[in-house]
Amino acid sequence: MNLIFMGPPGAGKGTQARRIAEKYAIPQLSTGDMLRAAVKAGTPVGLQAKAAMESGGLVTDAIVVGIIGDRIAEADCANGFILDGFPRTVAQAEALDGMLRERNLHIDHVIDITADDEALVARITGRRTCGKCGEGYHIQFKKPASPEACDHCGGALVTRADDTEETVRNRLSVYHAQTAPVLNFYRGKGGIETVDGMQEMNTVFGALCAIIG
């Protein structure tokens, strides 16, 4: 089961990918998470990606295509994977096509999770993530029992450096200019399925499960 979750920043891709990954026992491949880990570790990729990420721009296609190419070759992807935050440009989608063809793989569902820009700003500026286990929270929509600690593991909750209002607006305009065209790319191939990401989180999850089967 190979899935692509599309949608603007804050639509709920990560939240849902985490749950779908658990339910279907396939890994969530988030290029954002991988890049943040590389920045934190100070690897060459991290050093190259840092400035673009801080400004809300896109990291180069070569870097992210390289990361995903290595990742889908790993053993835990043998039964499938969820791409979360990739591809973000038509060039990335074309490169992904080539990598899948080489491995005789195909994408089962491209799912677009939609949401309004103004709601996305509120979602992203209120986002908190557990620095230890990665669980996601929201100060209004998914409140942790204690504002500073993860309900599951007690880890400290952190706000991403790029989750400021100014950066979010830049990320949204980058999304509309560079990532929305990827939807047309897939419309011209097998087609896409759309889920209304403005619905309550459990409703979104149910709609995704209904598509995936």
Residue 164 DSSP class? S
What three-state secondary structure class fits 53?
helix
Residue nearest to ligand AMP (CB): 32
Question: Which residue number, 26 or 172, has a Cβ lying nearer to ligand AMP?
Answer: 172
Taking CB under 6 A as the binding criterion, the range among 6-14, 33-41, 54-62, 63-71 that sits at the site for ligand ADP is 6-14
Tell me the sheet residues that pair with 196: 114
Q: Output the smallest distance, CB 98 to ligand AMP, in A.
A: 16
Question: Which residue number, 98 or 116, has a Cβ lying nearer to ligand ADP?
Answer: 116
What is the C-alpha separation between 150 and 82, in angstroms, rounded? 24
What is the C-alpha separation between 122 and 55, in angstroms, rounded? 18
Taking CB under 6 A as the binding criterion, the range among 19-27, 42-50, 93-101, 119-127 that sits at the site for ligand ADP is 119-127
Residues 157-196 that bind ligand AMP (CB under 6 A): 162, 171
Examine residue 160 and tell whether it contacts ligand ADP (CB under 6 A). Answer: no
* Catalytic residue list contains 19: no
155 — phi, psi (to 5°)? -60, 160
Non-local CB neighbours of 149 within 8 Å, separated by 6+ positions: 155, 156, 157
Pairing of strands 157-158, 127-130: antiparallel
Residues 5-64 that bind ligand AMP (CB under 6 A): 9, 31-32, 35, 52-53, 56-59, 64
SS (H, E, C) 75-118: HHHCCCEEEECCCCCHHHHHHHHHHHHHCCCCCCEEEEEECCHH
* Catalytic residue list contains 171: yes
* Catalytic residue list contains 127: yes
* Catalytic residue list contains 103: no
Place of tokens 């295509």: 65
Half-sphere exposure of 99 (CA within 13 A, CB side): 18
Q: One-letter amino acid identity for 163?
A: D
* Catalytic residue list contains 101: no
Q: Tell me the per-residue interface mask from 135 to 154 with ligand ADP, x by CB under 6 A, - otherwise.
A: -xxx--xx------------
Q: Output the smallest distance, CB 50 to ligand AMP, in A.
A: 9
Site residues, ligand AMP (CB under 6 A): 9, 31-32, 35, 52-53, 56-59, 64, 85-86, 88, 92, 162, 171
Catalytic residues: 13, 88, 127, 160, 171
**Which residues are at the interface with ligand ADP (CB under 6 A)?**
7, 9-15, 123-124, 126-127, 136-138, 141-142, 197, 200-201, 204
